Structure 1
Amino acid sequence: MAPALINANPTIFAPTKQSLRRNDLNARALWIDQRDESDEDTEAEEDIDQQEVFDLIRGISDPEHPLSLEQLHVVSAEQIELSRNRVLVEFTPTVPHCGMSTIIGLSIRVRLMRCLPERFKLDMRVKKGSHQSEDAVNKQLNDKERVAAALENPALVDVVEQCLSTASKRDDMNPLDL
């Protein structure tokens, strides 16, 4: 018997059109040790904007449903703040008691860790007032030791990889097909 879903009937929204800008963020190696020296040279000069970050995370799947975070309105471009070397992603769980919030935040963090230059500090935050345990979730997602421990857990890594598998597939799609 399958476990009960936390949000068995989520509201689904139509995705927006993907940015038509072609940048090399998605074409970069997904792991830092796969990057070559030319990547490091371009990172110092590269400006990244809100839409580019949104394009990276919009296709991540929800851990419970075969829907993207964008389709569930968990993330939007307006919820992303950039300053010089800092990216803050605010996300909105579909229900106030969502038990998958930490997995969602971890999936967003891992996607951005793999795709953005190392110079960026990443912060994840549950939208204020959208989750009953938002302070605890925010603390977990922004504590380096807790994130590192989570990424050493094979079961959690498998769930995160499943969430991220659709983000990579959507990167290869024609933006006009969305």
Structure 2
Amino acid sequence: MSALENAAPRIYAKSADRERTMNDLDGNVADLVDAREIFDLIRDINDPEHPLTLEQLNVVQEELINVEDERNYIDVRFTPTIPHCSMATLIGLAIRVKLLRSLPPRFKVTVRITPGAHASETAINKQLADKERVAAALENSNLLQVVNQCLTPREE
């Protein structure tokens, strides 16, 4: 196994779970998608290099998610732990796949790197925005297996 790119990442505390309200349990109340709901979907994605979640590494943050439910638009920005992270594309792909699997198809989802957070930000954002490249990547069984490992909940 090769050496870790970021052998000693800073670990952040997990945020509290969202409090449930009576409206959450009421099927007659329209439930709009918001940034917290998207954050809750992606916060527990496993980092491909460490036995930690993207939330624990501060790669995903609720403040970096923009949801326009009325326009069916979701914009997720993520911040790799180091500016030359070779796993950034894989992390973005895992976020995209999780949202594609979890949300109704009416949503247009954009996943990109936080501006200034990665040396190859423009190239990676272009890859993640290209539907054909994402689909082709997911046809690669080895890559799909790695993405699925990132999305499989870990035992705590």
Please say whether Structure 1 and Structure 2 have the same fold, judged by a TM-score greater than 0.5: yes
CA distance in 2, matches of 1:19, 1:55: 8
Residue 123 of structure 1 aligns to a residue in which SS? Answer: strand
Greater than 6 Å deviation, 4+ residue runs: none
Does the alignment pair 1:123 with 2:110? Answer: yes
> Any idea what SS the aligned residue of 1:148 has?
helix
Pair 1:73-2:58 in alignment: yes
Structure 1 position 154, deviation (Å): 0.6
Distance 1:148 1:56 in 2: 21
Q: Please report the RMSD computed on the Cα atoms of aligned residues, expressed in angstroms.
A: 1.9
Aligned pairs, number:
149
- What secondary structure does 2:123 align onto? helix
Q: CA deviation at 1:20?
A: 2.6
Whole-Å Cα distance in 2 between the matches of residues 12 and 107 of structure 1? 20
Q: What SS does the aligned partner of 2:125 have? A: helix
Which region of structure 1 is more displaced relative to structure 2, 57-66 or 45-54? 45-54
| Residue identity (%) | 55
Counterpart Cα distance in 1 of 2:126 and 2:151: 22
Per-residue CA distance 1:126-163 (angstroms, 9 max, x = gap)? 01111000000000001001000000001110110000
- Which sections of structure 2, spanning at least 5 residues, go unmatched? none
Q: Quote the residue 1:82 is aligned against.
A: 67
Which one of 34, 40, 55 corresponds to residue 49 of structure 1? Answer: 34
CA shift digits 1:90-140 (9 cap, x unpaired): 000000000000110000001000111110001011011110000000000
Offset, 1:46: 4.4
Query: Which of residues 62, 70, 86 in structure 2 aligns to 1:99?
Result: 86
Which structure ranks higher in relative contact order (CA pairs < 8 Å, sequence separation ≥ 6)? 1
SS of corresponding position for 1:8 = coil
Return the alpha-carbon distance in structure 2 between the equivalents of residues 146 and 4 of structure 1.
28
SS at match of 1:166: coil
| Secondary structure class of the residue paired with 1:96 | coil
Q: Among residues 135, 138, 158, which one is paired with 2:122 in the alignment?
A: 135
CA distance in 2: counterparts of 1:68 and 1:90, whole angstroms: 16
**How far 1:62 sits from its partner (Å)?**
0.4
1:8 matched to which residue of 2? 7
- CA-CA distance at 1:47 after TM superposition: 1.4
